[in-house]
Chain A
Amino acid sequence: MTYTRRELMVAAAAREIRDGDIVFVGMRLPLLGFAVAKETHAPGAIGIFENGVIRDWPALHSIFTMSDPANIAGALSCGGLNEVMYLLQSGRVDLGFIGGAEIDRFGNLNTHWVEDQGKRTRLPGSGGAADIAVMARQSIIIMNHERRRFVDKVRYITSPGFGSGGDWRQRHGLSGGGPRRAITSLGIFSFDEDTGEMMLSAKHPGVAADEIEKETGWPLRIAEDLTETAPPSADELHAVRKYDPKGVWTS
């Protein structure tokens, strides 16, 4: 079966969700990942949205924002933003999905401003990403893999990963565990347990390791046991297309 790169990313996101996990799901690819996990291996996972919505099954209707009426109807619970943030702060949230305009080698993310040839571009800001990055038990980063986004050092830390590396999170008293994985359009990265540095652990089918190195703004570490991302299974693809039948997010 043929599939798109984004469908592969959704499948990879779904595989990070364990049955019974409490997940801050976000929108777009992570939301689809949650749907695929629910339909396949993790029917007991719970999805939490920053606006205060908790769902035990994703909305089938396609949505542009987490506050779209289809995401409210049939929800398990509707409350406030602070209440779902309490769940994060008290350590109940197993996994949170985040992204950014820039990422660096320690998984720090920037969504505040970027600069290109002296020209500064203001970006929208954190939303809830900083809250998730700091307090979720673990986080999964999803983003497009481009050289301008993969920089040696982010210009602004919106959502901290492992800071300057090593035991930085412990020293600064961050309660959550930090990024477990980064899923990009080119591969999947894990983070070194001691140094906190991003490490290529799987490349997507058809992608060469040197292409990934070329799109990365620092000398990339590659795992000794580098593998290839498993293509989406028939069940995974079926689930992706059930929730994104027109390919709005995955074409």
Chain B
Amino acid sequence: MSKALSLRDAIAAYVRDGMSIAMGCALESSIPFAASHEIIRQRRKDLTLIGPISDIQFDQLIGAGCVKKIQASWVGNVAAGLGHNFRRAAEHGQPVPLAIEEHSNFTIGLALQAAAMGLPFLPTRSIKGSDIAKESHFARVRCPFSGEELLAVAAIQPDLAIIHVQRADDQGNAHLWGNYGVVREAALAAKKVILTCEELVDHSVIVSDPNRTVIPGFAVTSVVHEPNGSFPSPTQGYARRDDAFYFEYHQATRTVEGFHKWLDKYVFGVKNHREFLELLGPERRAALRPEGELFAPPVSFNY
């Protein structure tokens, strides 16, 4: 049976108040913004967000009042600087108090990897001496062989990971390429996975290139065909980054009122992602498309 769903149905079915969700796992690219906008539209709350560098995605969810806790190494606007909503929540509990579990990029990666490996923790040499290491999800451990002191990073098992990929079949077998960030770890750590994809392809396309199958379908709960679903973040081969959108967001969200105007226009003012893309206008959409072609030669799996 096909796992393909509309984004609205997938979010309605699998995102519950109080859940923990890993997103933005590739770092600054392939961020599933279409999905997070739908989460805001469906007014989910008390979420825990998990991810390394969320760019403006976590900032939007925080400002919209959907989030009670983040487990992240960085929250802000990568090109423009600080995230105003993250600041307001961390400094004044506005719109709701925000618990922050501090991490470095590597400790988020290890926490997810530990869960993906079915382990309670993984040891590391990183963040020793940093104040981050004082947090309660880290503990000193000794190597039983050498006696070296290491830091144990507690596993993080998200209730759900939402991941944007280039292509998938209707069973959720997914091809992705470019930087992986912590996508693979998050997909196998999470209890459920929702994919949004640029292209929904036949199963034969997936098995023609098995090295590119980064997420196996048996780990995936539902698949959503959502072209440009990562806008304004880029998806290799399909969409460029709309840098201006991030700078505009930074300016527009300096005040709470400004953020709500932004939200009313881009999230609540549209029914779905397609309407959102239409709102951007033809010029802005056209500018996203990569110019020309840049193909790698095919490889042979002949035997």
Contacts and interface: CB of A to CB of B under 8 A. Distances in A.
B27 A67 contact: yes
Interface string A67-95: 11100110000111110010011000000
Given A81-B109, A128-B105, A158 B132 contact: yes
A65 B74 contact: no
Contact of B132 (A49, A64, A130): A130
B210 interface: no
A155 to B, nearest CB: 9
A82 B182 contact: yes
Interface stretch (A166-174, A193-201, A224-232): A166-174
A157 B91 contact: no
B124 A89 contact: yes
Given A121-B91, A122-B91, A124-B82, A72 B179 contact: yes
A174 B130 CA distance: 10
B73 A126 contact: yes
A123 interface: yes
Nearest to B179: A51
Nearest to B109: A82
Contacts of A73: 236, 294
Contacts of B149: 173
A51 B26 contact: yes
Nearest to B53: A127
Interface stretch (A131-139, A182-190, A234-242): A131-139
Contact of B125 (A49, A79, A133, A175): A175
Question: Which of A81, A158, A172 has most chain B Cβ within 10 Å?
Answer: A81
Interface string B181-214: 1111100000000000000000000000000000
B87 A67 contact: no
Contact of A64 (B75, B110, B241, B290): B241
Interface in A100-149: 112-113, 120-131, 133-135
A7 interface: no
Contacts of B240: 68-69
A87 to B, nearest CB: 11
B104 A173 contact: no
Tell me the dominant secondary structure on chain B's binding face.
loop
B52 A67 contact: no
A45 B29 CA distance: 25
B250 to A, nearest CB: 12
B217 interface: no
A78 B178 contact: yes
Contacts of B132: 126, 130, 158
Interface in B64-97: 72-76, 78-79, 82-83, 86-87, 90-91
B148 interface: yes
Given A124-B74, A127-B74, A67 B234 contact: yes
B177 A78 contact: yes
Nearest to B98: A122
Contacts of B276: none
A156 B233 CA distance: 31
B103 interface: yes
Nearest to B81: A124
Given A53-B179, A124-B83, A82 B113 contact: yes
Contacts of A123: 76, 82
A78 B28 contact: no
Contacts of B78: 64-65
B284 interface: no
Interface in B130-184: 130-132, 148-149, 177-184
Interface string B27-71: 111000000000000000000000011010000000000000000
A217 interface: no
A39 interface: no
A64 B131 CA distance: 29
B106 interface: yes
Contacts of A81: 27, 52, 105-106, 109, 180-182
A66 interface: yes
A178 to B, nearest CB: 10
A159 interface: yes
A49 B52 CA distance: 14
Given A133-B130, A172-B128, A67 B74 contact: no
Nearest 9 CB-CB pairs, A to B?
A124-B76, A67-B29, A67-B28, A122-B90, A65-B28, A160-B129, A51-B179, A128-B105, A80-B180
26 contacts: A50-B105, A51-B26, A52-B179, A65-B27, A65-B78, A65-B241, A66-B179, A67-B26, A67-B181, A67-B234, A69-B241, A79-B179, A81-B180, A82-B185, A85-B109, A113-B90, A124-B83, A125-B76, A126-B102, A126-B130, A128-B105, A131-B126, A158-B130, A160-B128, A168-B129, A173-B125
Interface of B: 26-29, 52-53, 55, 72-76, 78-79, 82-83, 86-87, 90-91, 102-106, 109-110, 113, 124-132, 148-149, 177-185, 233-234, 236-237, 240-241, 243, 246, 290, 294
